[in-house]
Amino acid sequence: MKLPVSKRIQAEVAVDALAGPRRPGAVASLLSRTRYVPVRLKFAVTLMLALAWGVSSYLIAQHWLDELALIMGGFFAHLAILGIAILPGFMNAFLVVGLLLDRRPPRTAIATYPGITVLVAAYNEQDSILSTLESLSKQDYPAPMQVLVINDGSTDATMERLRSVSYPWLQVLDLERNGGKANALNQGLKLAGHSLTITLDGDSYLYRHALRHLVGRFLSDPLNTSAVAGAVLLRNSRLNLVTKVQEWDYFHGIAAIKRLQSLFQGTLVAQGAFSLYRTEVLRELGGWPECVGEDIVLTWAILNRGDRVGYCEDAVTFTNAPATWRQFIRQRQRWSRGLIEAFKAYPQLLFRRRMSTIFIWWNLLFPYMDLVYTLFFVPGLVLALFGYYWLAGPMTLLVLPLAFVVNYLMFYVQSQMFRAQGLKVRRNPVGFVMYALFYGFVLQPGCVVGYLSELLNLRKRWGTK
């Protein structure tokens, strides 16, 4: 007989001998708060205020819509304005209110930590794999750790680098042929010897206490949590303008969205670069699927089980971002293809009665919004240079105040986390200006190509950079 989720978790805790109260500590912490606000009430308040902003923006934009309808017709006018201003404004308002209401419960005091397996899929990582292992050796994780590095048919000196080191917790699996990241991780999963499995990229460097924080967050989160995403920041952010711009995307946008999704019980991507999973769940689901976006499809499979996926903002790893615009576009095209793959595999998530369902719908709207941005807003900016303010004019300035609030709030939240970790936010004004004003010109058209590539079933490849 198959045990329900809560019973299976309790049974596994007993096997792992986690001494002391595992979840009750978190519950007691919440009950001790005299002003604790239930998550569902936070969600209701956030949604209502965001809807109010969206409706108000739509009403204010009526004159703009009427003028644009004379040029392109009412249908296309609404299509353009909704994608350019109304929906982004609603999403920004939701993000602002949600982050203001977010109060992360402290981690439960853990008496005994469970053993963990760390899977590192490595393909041509000769320049970084040794520092990745070094970062693992410096972790203060107080329980058995098994590290499996899967050399996925590398054609460089990755395997030679791995032979040059010897750690008691290290195992190396050398695959003769490159089979892709999903296959590499699945080969490692077969050898995983602990109840928790963590994935880490071969070019990542774990910051101090990262493993302890990640596992501690998992043990402190609700009972139905089956995965927790770590925080991924840039390791090569000072390399050139391309990486300087991406630093703000990782520091601001990606981290803030994951934090908000976790608050409302459903982080949508436990990224392969650094995430924790329940090993039993991974095996029940058949491991990582063979596709471009294996991490997002796996995460949606976990959500489809009815399980929760969390986020740990202070379990930090630094990873290398694409260093050229071409590599960056290829990466985001792959991410966009992964999103379409996830919808193909689990469209039923659109109709689940969960708070996190709103984020599934957001993802469904992203291809439309990226397409509108590419086909309407970018040409509208060009027209504005010649005095035709049909799509990019004074009314678009309505978005700017909220965008400023969003960016300031994300910066404040992340800065607080940095200070708590002993990290310092480095000055990067040029990168921020490029991120705020010009990032979308490269990002969103690239995403459109990714969506179309998956819809047209074009050739797929692992390439992450």
Rounded distance between C-alpha atoms, residue 311 and residue 274, angstroms: 11
Rounded distance between C-alpha atoms, residue 65 and residue 67, angstroms: 5
The full length of the chain comes to: 465
- Which of 302, 303, 318, 145 lies closest to 231, judged by CA? 318
CA 16 to chain centre: 29
Per-residue pLDDT of 307-332, as tens digits, reads 999 999 999 999 999 999 999 999 99
Q: What is the CATH number of domain 116-323?
A: 3.90.550.10
Contact 198, 274 (CB under 8 A): yes
Locate 165 and state its tokens.
Answer: 């080191």
Q: What is the pLDDT of residue 118?
A: 98
- Tokens 């990782």 correspond to what residue? 250
- Tokens 């047209």 correspond to what residue? 456
Contact 464, 184 (CB under 8 A): no
Rounded distance between C-alpha atoms, residue 319 and residue 312, angstroms: 16
In order along its 465 residues, the chain shows pLDDT tens digits of 344 443 333 333 333 433 333 443 343 333 334 466 888 999 999 999 999 999 998 998 888 888 888 888 989 989 988 998 889 889 989 998 998 888 877 778 888 999 999 999 999 999 999 999 999 999 999 999 999 999 999 999 999 999 999 999 999 999 989 999 999 999 999 999 999 999 999 999 999 999 999 999 999 998 899 999 999 999 888 889 999 999 988 887 788 889 889 889 889 999 999 999 999 999 999 999 999 999 999 999 999 999 999 999 999 999 999 999 999 999 999 999 999 999 999 999 999 999 999 999 999 999 999 998 888 888 877 777 777 777 766 556 656 666 777 778 888 887 887 887 788 777 888 888 888 778 888 888 889 988 998 888 877 665 544
Rounded distance between C-alpha atoms, residue 379 and residue 94, angstroms: 28
Which residues lie across from 232 on neighbouring strands? 317
Rounded distance between C-alpha atoms, residue 57 and residue 146, angstroms: 53
DSSP 390-446: SSSSGGGGGHHHHHHHHHHHHHHHHHHHHHHHT------HHHHHHHHHTHHHHHHHH
Which residues lie across from 227 on neighbouring strands? 277, 309
Q: Half-sphere exposure of 154 toward its Cβ, with a 13 Å CA cutoff? A: 22
Contact 241, 434 (CB under 8 A): yes
Locate 285 and state its tokens.
Answer: 């689901």
Q: What is the pLDDT of residue 394?
A: 57
Q: What is the pLDDT of residue 398?
A: 59
395 φ, ψ (degrees, to nearest 5): -65, -30
Q: Is the dihedral of CA 185, 191, 197, 201 positive or negative?
A: negative
Contact 17, 112 (CB under 8 A): yes
Rounded distance between C-alpha atoms, residue 133 and residue 197, angstroms: 16
Rounded distance between C-alpha atoms, residue 13 and residue 22, angstroms: 8
**What is the spatial order of strands in the sheet that 145-152 belongs to?**
170-175, 145-152, 116-122, 196-200, 274-278, 225-234, 308-319, 205-206
Q: What is the pLDDT of residue 462?
A: 54
Rg of the chain, C-alpha, whole Å: 23
Q: What is the pLDDT of residue 114?
A: 96
Rounded distance between C-alpha atoms, residue 445 and residue 450, angstroms: 9
Q: What is the residue type of 135?
A: S
Q: What is the pLDDT of residue 143?
A: 96
Contact 422, 410 (CB under 8 A): no
Q: Half-sphere exposure of 9 toward its Cβ, with a 13 Å CA cutoff? A: 19
Rounded distance between C-alpha atoms, residue 149 and residue 170, angstroms: 8
